[in-house]
Amino acid sequence: MGIKQTLGTIVLASAIGLAGCSKPENFVEGKVVSEYGNVARIVESSGALFGNESVKLGNPAYGLKVETPQGIYTIEVAVDDMSGSSGPHTAYNLAAAIEEGTKVRFPLQYGGRNLFSADRLGIVDPDDIEIQRE
């Protein structure tokens, strides 16, 4: 196989691979009306010996209620960051940056798959939530 055939095969394979990549679609903007969850939760353990208390980390969770022209969306932000695109956003830094009144933009679909149910409950990868600066 010559160098031209090899390069042609590589280019074709790359084009096919890129064409198959999923991406967020149908974005909607809104204002955060509340946050919920516990990104870094510490809970008391029961049964400590000799009156000493200990703590254990609970399962982290983070979510947003966002008011949009279509109504209120309740968004669970994927804490494991494994549900969509890769990038710098995490549930932890979004929790630090977002507060009530923050304007955000988020997708309704990912790769043709709906991220929200008919009653506007869904889960979104943190990298797909954009903070809208004014």
**Percent with pLDDT over 90 in the chain:** 46
User: Which domains are seen in the chain, by residue range?
Assistant: 24-131 (2.40.50)
pLDDT tens by residue, 1-53:
556 554 455 544 444 444 446 678 899 999 999 999 887 544 555 555 555 55
37 within 8 A of 63, measured Cβ to Cβ: yes
Question: Residue 36 is which amino acid?
Answer: Y
Q: What is the pTM of this model?
A: 0.70
Average pLDDT over residues 88-116: 93
Q: What's the confidence (pLDDT) of residue 46?
A: 58
Q: What's the confidence (pLDDT) of residue 7?
A: 46
